[in-house]
Amino acid sequence: MKDLAPANAGKFIDPEVTAEGEPRATVALTAPKTLWFNTGTLCNIACLNCYIESSPSNDRLVYITADEVSDYLDQIDARGWPISEIAFTGGEPFMNPEMIEMARRSLARGYEVLILTNAMRPMMRRKMQEGLKELNAAFPGRLTLRVSVDHYEADLHDAERGAGVFEKTLHGMRWLRDNGLRMAVAGRSIMAHDEAESRAGYAAFFVEHGFDIDADDPTMTVLFPEMDETVEVPEITTACWGVLNKSPDALMCASSRMVVKRKGADRPAVLACTLLPYSPEFELGHTLADAEKAVALNHPHCAKFCVLGGASCSA
């Protein structure tokens, strides 16, 4: 049995049926669009509510290498997956010394590349700056840096990420702006704002600092719902698609997978999505062929974040 909070006790146990005995919803990999790589869980900061618990000391997921990324790029070709985007998340991806080379190999294969970052010191090292400028010049318009800005007000952003972090992130964003790199932003649907109010706040923030980011485009300003496992959420049954007027093809596990390398493992593994790196039942195998199986929506995040929250990590 999963170690769930009391609010969801008795739920999300059987991958085939819910606690009420109804058939659990599953999602097939119908149109692979994005292959994610977790570059490692080490991060230069420790955020209050980081779903992956990244920190300066968490190495449960170790650095993936450029050669390992290349192997999966070969597998994309072999499987005929219609992937258009290679995305990198962490931890902080720029902690990984091979981040630029991994991006270079992905861009050279013709993919769009998305890198999630806090735009702080790891990204601002000279080697990373020079690499980013070289990639942007060699592959114009195909590299996007999605910067984590939990809130457009400094005090609320720093309440999540630590004192002074907002200004350091802003410094990195100015560098990206001044060097012509394409930026997006990831925020959080917090502080009792509705979506319209949040987007208006980000729009004013972008104008104030001269950032060419569209606050109304959900692929450029991504607002993530909270992933609080202490909150009770419903299990998703096969009947829910009709009730909610939603297609399983809209969920990110229909269009993406994530590759991770666990500490002590001799090779990477492929997971159903980016949100559940430590849940063994969402590990699909070591190859993309293994990862073509359907995914049972057997976790609170599946319901709250994806089905009901309507969120997606993809650009």
Q: How confident is the model at residue 3 (pLDDT cuts 50, 70, 90)?
A: low
**Would you say residue 314 has pLDDT above 50?**
no
Q: How confident is the model at residue 233 (pLDDT cuts 50, 70, 90)?
A: confident
Q: Can you give the pLDDT at residue 231?
A: 76
Q: Can you give the pLDDT at residue 297?
A: 94
Summarised one tens digit per residue, pLDDT across range 192-211 is: 578 899 999 999 999 999 99
Measure the CA–CA gap between 157 and 166, rounded to whole angstroms. Answer: 6
Q: Can you give the pLDDT at residue 79?
A: 98
Q: Is the peptide bond before 91 cis (omega within 30 degrees of 0)?
A: yes
Q: Average of pLDDT values for 228-249?
A: 87
Residues 6+ apart with CB under 8 A from 44: 56, 92, 95, 118, 120, 121, 122
Q: Can you give the pLDDT at residue 191?
A: 53
Measure the CA–CA gap between 213 and 173, rounded to whole angstroms. Answer: 11
Q: How many residues does the chain have?
A: 315
How many CB atoms neighbour CB 166 within 10 A?
22
**Would you say residue 301 has pLDDT above 90?**
no
**Would you say residue 313 has pLDDT above 50?**
no
DSSP state of 95: G
Give the pair of three-digit tokens for residue 225. Answer: 């719902």
Class of domain 6-308: alpha beta
Q: Alpha helix (H) ranges present in 24-120?
A: 66-79, 99-108
Pairing between strand 85-89 and 34-38? Answer: parallel
Measure the CA–CA gap between 262 and 106, rounded to whole angstroms. Answer: 22
One-letter amino acid at 35 equals L
Q: Is 90 helix (H, G, I), strand (E, B) or coil?
A: coil
Least confident of 2-16, 73-87, 204-218: 2-16
Measure the CA–CA gap between 41 and 96, rounded to whole angstroms. Answer: 10
Q: If we measure between CA atoms, which residue out of 240, 219, 230, 131 comes closest to residue 181?
A: 131
Q: Average of pLDDT values for 67-96?
A: 98
How many CB atoms neighbour CB 278 within 10 A?
15
Measure the CA–CA gap between 194 and 305, rounded to whole angstroms. Answer: 16
How many CB atoms neighbour CB 61 within 10 A?
24
**Claim: this prediction has a pTM higher than 0.85:** yes
Q: Is 145 helix (H, G, I), strand (E, B) or coil?
A: strand
Summarised one tens digit per residue, pLDDT across range 271-280 is: 998 888 998 8
Residue reference for tokens 């109010």: 197
Q: Can you give the pLDDT at residue 114?
A: 98
**Would you say residue 227 has pLDDT above 70?**
no
**Would you say residue 315 has pLDDT above 50?**
no
> Residue 187's beta-bridge partner residues?
223
> Mean pLDDT for the chain?
92
Q: Can you give the pLDDT at residue 103?
A: 98
Q: If we measure between CA atoms, which residue out of 160, 149, 148 comes closest to residue 205?
A: 149
Q: Can you give the pLDDT at residue 268?
A: 98
Q: How confident is the model at residue 178 (pLDDT cuts 50, 70, 90)?
A: very high
